[in-house]
């Protein structure tokens, strides 16, 4: 694909990596169906292995399955590992460029790979990938039959109060796991801590640590633990036991008959998420985008799978409410005002960019716009995933085939994973509805 899809005098190009499976592929009614996952902020293998529903559906539809990697992630690097992550090299990383890449792949790559001049392409995505799937329908609806966007906060913008909704949503996950746990965690998060309290923590650079960066790190970890509260043991973003929120609620009660200090309870809960294996040497608070100094390099932790530098660049340019936090394991929306200004200032220092938060709703729309004009799109929300508040104001539109589905007991895009006997009835019912809608789009 071109390095710059919107430059008409450039001949520079690079390779986007894709993965495919053709074991189910055959023509039905003279048509060939393709299920295409639009890659998110990491290596494409991690999404290939976490999206079993596409393979289950492909077996029913005799469809081909393709996964396309996002530019600047995994091995799809425009200027190689050395040149892609400089401030100059990163300037071709944007949502607009990624959507254009995917359009070229649909128009030129898919027909060549699967031997169909006019394939019926249904696009899929979870989390940021889901946002891309919905936004691809918004920008390029003529190229696909429809989209399934799961856990896709497409209306998550500053100055809307969405951060408060997000906070309430992740506390809800703790509360439904164990009565009173959400309230306990809320109290711990609202406790006023001092610099001396930080001595209870294993911080990489204690001399530069602040209570503000500590709290942002904590919120990123505990909200992300809620997000991936799957009913089975899993290593996705972070290795965790089954029902990790329930495990975490047990840690908040303290050991034996004694209740541990609030700072220690928070430490134990955060360590369950970021350091379940014991491999993380210390908490790197300096890497937080809301920080005021210290290191500005790559975070550790899950950065081998998730492109931390690339994603924080995207947070700095277009997605200010979704910076990576908690040693690369979490995401958390900064509050409007002081925290957001810290992110803007840090972005300028790190990448030399000026954040334009007003651009996204102008270019990609809001819930009001989607409710009126978005077509052939399923917005799938899972109860335990706090990011579902990013579609809470979208109104389903039967005429336009815009659907909002909600799964009680579901975690972050759990409906895209392989079916499991431990799935909640809500997740099972939502998958069944998704199947029916997609088959309707395909006239099958």
What are the backbone dihedrals phi and psi of residue 110, each rounded to the nearest 5 degrees, phi first?
-60, -50
pTM here? 0.94
> How many angstroms separate the CA atoms of 259 and 265, rounded?
9
**34 with 121: CB under 8 angstroms?**
yes
User: Catalytic pick from 136, 388, 412, 413?
Assistant: 412
Q: What is the pLDDT of residues 77-117, one digit of tens each?
A: 999 998 999 999 999 999 999 999 999 999 999 998 888 87
Neighbour-count burial of 320, counting CB atoms closer than 10 A to its CB (0-12 exposed, 13-18 middle, 19+ buried): buried
- On the question of pLDDT at 119 being above 80, the answer is yes
Contacts within 8 Å (CB) and 24+ apart, 222-225: 222/170, 222/185, 222/189, 222/248, 222/266, 222/269, 222/270, 222/273, 223/166, 223/167, 223/170, 223/330, 223/331, 223/332, 223/386, 224/273, 224/326, 224/329, 224/330, 224/331, 224/332, 225/269, 225/272, 225/273
> How many angstroms separate the CA atoms of 295 and 207, rounded?
12
Average pLDDT, the chain: 91
Highest average pLDDT, of 3-17, 128-142, 306-320, comes from 128-142
Give the CA angle between residues 422, 424, 425 to the nearest 5°: 125
Name residue, tokens 């530098």.
309
Query: Has 127 been annotated as catalytic?
Result: yes
pLDDT of residue 297: 38
Query: CA 87, 90, 91, 94 torsion: positive or negative?
Result: negative
Per-residue pLDDT band at 254 (split at 50, 70, 90): low
Query: Has 101 been annotated as catalytic?
Result: no
> How many angstroms separate the CA atoms of 209 and 261, rounded?
20
Question: Which whole number is the average pLDDT over 386-404?
Answer: 97
Q: What is the pLDDT of residues 278-293, one digit of tens each?
A: 999 999 988 887 765 4
Name residue, tokens 């003529």.
142
E strand spans, 47-181: 64-68, 120-126, 146-150
Q: Where are the alpha helices (DSSP H) in 25-117?
A: 44-48, 52-61, 80-83, 95-104, 110-114
Query: CA 198, 200, 204, 207 torsion: positive or negative?
Result: positive
What kind and span of H or E run contains 404? strand 402-407
User: Catalytic pick from 120, 155, 271, 385?
Assistant: 385
- The residue ranking higher by pLDDT, 172 or 25, is 172
Question: Which whole number is the average pLDDT over 361-384?
Answer: 97
**Residue 28, SS3 per DSSP:** strand
Q: What is the pLDDT of residues 121-177, one digit of tens each?
A: 999 999 999 999 999 999 999 999 999 999 999 999 999 999 999 999 999 999 999
CA atoms within 13 A on the CB side of 186: 16
**253 with 290: CB under 8 angstroms?**
no
> How many angstroms separate the CA atoms of 66 and 48, rounded?
9
Count of CB atoms situated within 10 Å of the CB of 244: 25
Q: Using alpha carbons, select from 71, 69, 64 the residue that is nearest to residue 2.
A: 71
- The residue ranking higher by pLDDT, 253 or 237, is 237
What are the backbone dihedrals phi and psi of residue 36, each rounded to the nearest 5 degrees, phi first?
-115, 120
**39 with 69: CB under 8 angstroms?**
yes
The residues, ordered by sequence, that sit 6+ positions from 384 with a Cβ below 8 Å of its Cβ are 173, 176, 226, 227, 229, 245, 409, 410, 411, 412
Name residue, tokens 């399923």.
378
Count of CB atoms situated within 10 Å of the CB of 198: 18
The residues, ordered by sequence, that sit 6+ positions from 314 with a Cβ below 8 Å of its Cβ are 41, 93, 94, 95
Share of the chain above pLDDT 90, in %: 77
User: Catalytic pick from 51, 84, 103, 127?
Assistant: 127
pLDDT of residue 444: 85
- On the question of pLDDT at 277 being above 70, the answer is yes
Question: Which whole number is the average pLDDT over 386-409?
Answer: 97
Per-residue pLDDT band at 295 (split at 50, 70, 90): very low
What are the backbone dihedrals phi and psi of residue 410, each rounded to the nearest 5 degrees, phi first?
-90, 145
Query: Has 172 been annotated as catalytic?
Result: no
- On the question of pLDDT at 256 being above 80, the answer is no
Q: What is the pLDDT of residues 258-271, one digit of tens each?
A: 678 899 999 999 99
Least confident piece of the model among 115-119, 295-299, 414-418: 295-299
**77 with 92: CB under 8 angstroms?**
no
**398 with 375: CB under 8 angstroms?**
no
**Residue 19, SS3 per DSSP:** strand
- On the question of pLDDT at 371 being above 80, the answer is yes
pLDDT of residue 258: 64
**98 with 74: CB under 8 angstroms?**
no
pLDDT of residue 324: 85
- On the question of pLDDT at 301 being above 50, the answer is no
Per-residue pLDDT band at 355 (split at 50, 70, 90): confident
Q: Using alpha carbons, select from 144, 157, 102 the residue that is nearest to residue 319.
A: 157
């Amino acid at each position: 694909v071109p390095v710059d899809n919107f430059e008409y005098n450039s001949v520079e190009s690079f390779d986007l990596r894709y993965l495919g499976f053709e074991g189910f592929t055959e023509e039905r009614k003279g048509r060939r169906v393709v299920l295409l996952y639009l890659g998110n902020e990491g290596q494409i293998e991690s999404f290939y292995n976490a999206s079993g529903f596409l393979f289950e559906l492909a077996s029913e539809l005799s469809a081909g399955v393709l996964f396309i990697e996002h530019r600047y992630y995994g091995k799809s690097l425009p200027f190689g590992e050395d040149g892609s992550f400089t401030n100059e090299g990163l300037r071709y990383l944007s949502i607009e460029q990624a959507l254009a890449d995917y359009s070229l792949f649909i128009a030129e790559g898919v027909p060549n790979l699967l031997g169909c001049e006019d394939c019926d392409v249904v696009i899929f995505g979870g989390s940021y990938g889901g946002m891309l799937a919905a936004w691809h329908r918004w920008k390029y609806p003529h190229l696909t039959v429809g989209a399934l966007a799961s856990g896709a906060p497409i209306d998550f913008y500053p100055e809307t109060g969405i951060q408060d909704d997000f906070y309430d949503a992740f506390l809800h996950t703790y509360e439904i796991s164990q009565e009173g746990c959400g309230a306990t965690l809320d109290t711990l998060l609202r406790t006023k801590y001092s610099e001396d309290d930080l001595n209870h923590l294993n911080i990489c650079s204690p001399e530069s640590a602040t209570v503000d960066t500590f709290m942002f790190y904590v919120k990123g970890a505990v909200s992300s633990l809620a997000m991936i509260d799957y009913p089975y043991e899993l290593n996705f973003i972070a290795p965790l036991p089954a029902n990790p929120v329930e495990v975490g609620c047990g840690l908040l009660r303290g050991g034996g008959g004694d209740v541990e200090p609030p700072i220690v309870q928070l430490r134990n809960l955060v360590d369950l998420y970021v350091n379940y294996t014991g491999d993380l040497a210390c908490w790197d608070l300096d890497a937080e985008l809301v920080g005021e100094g210290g290191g500005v390099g790559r975070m550790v932790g899950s950065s081998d799978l998730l492109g931390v530098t690339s994603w924080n660049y995207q947070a700095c340019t277009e997605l200010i409410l979704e910076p990576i936090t908690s040693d690369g394991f979490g995401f958390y929306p900064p509050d409007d005002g002081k925290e957001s200004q810290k992110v803007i200032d840090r972005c300028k220092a790190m990448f030399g960019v000026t954040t334009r938060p007003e651009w996204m709703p102008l270019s990609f729309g809001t819930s009001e716009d989607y409710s009126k004009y978005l077509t052939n799109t399923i917005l799938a929300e899972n109860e335990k995933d706090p990011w579902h508040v990013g579609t809470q104001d979208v109104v389903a539109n039967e005429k336009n085939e815009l659907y909002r589905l909600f799964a009680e007991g579901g975690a972050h895009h759990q409906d895209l994973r392989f079916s499991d006997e431990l799935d909640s009835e809500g997740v099972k019912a939502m998958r069944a509805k998704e199947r029916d809608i997609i088959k309707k789009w395909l006239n099958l």
